[in-house]
Amino acid sequence: MVLDDSSVSRQHAEVRATEGSAWNRLLALWLLRADEVDAERAMRCPAEVSPGIYCLRSRGNLDKLAAIGRPVILPLQGDDGMRWAVLLGVDVLSVRLGMGGDSFDIDRRQLERVWNGQFTAL
C-alpha cells in the first residue's frame, strides 16, 4: 500500500481513522479493558492513564520511535484532514501502521511526508 500526501484518505475512505479508533487499538494492544480505561479518557493523555500505565505526548523521528520499541499513535495529515494511525513496527526501509481494522507496510519516506513528528505513547 502506498501512503502519500493524498492517499491517507483516498485509500482508507471506508475506514474513518479517528483518534478514538487509534486509541481503542492502542489500549487493546496494552490489554487494557474498557472498565480500566476508555479511549475518551486516554485521549486526554493524563499523566497516569490507568494504574501503572502512563501517557507521553512528544515529538521525535522514526529512529527515536524504533528505539522506544512500543506502539504509538501518530497523527497523519491527509488531503481531507487528520487521520490517526498506530505505529506497530519500524525497520530500516518501512513501517507497519494500523488504521481502523487494517494493518499495512509503507516506505518510511512516504510516512514522513504526512507525519509531523508528533506521537503519543503509553
In this predicted model, what pLDDT tens digit does every residue of 85-116 receive, in sequence order?
Answer: 999 999 999 999 999 889 999 999 999 999 99
Per the CB < 8 A criterion, the answer to whether 66 and 90 are in contact is yes
Share above pLDDT 70 across residues of the chain, in percent, rounded to a whole number: 86
Per the CB < 8 A criterion, the answer to whether 80 and 9 are in contact is yes
Distance between CA 111 and CA 74 in Å, rounded? 10
**pTM of the full structure:** 0.83
Distance between CA 87 and CA 20 in Å, rounded? 15
Per the CB < 8 A criterion, the answer to whether 118 and 57 are in contact is yes
Mean pLDDT of 30-56: 90
Distance between CA 7 and CA 37 in Å, rounded? 32
Per the CB < 8 A criterion, the answer to whether 114 and 76 are in contact is yes
In this predicted model, what pLDDT tens digit does every residue of 66-84 receive, in sequence order?
Answer: 999 999 999 999 888 899 9
> Does the pLDDT of residue 6 top 80, yes or no?
no
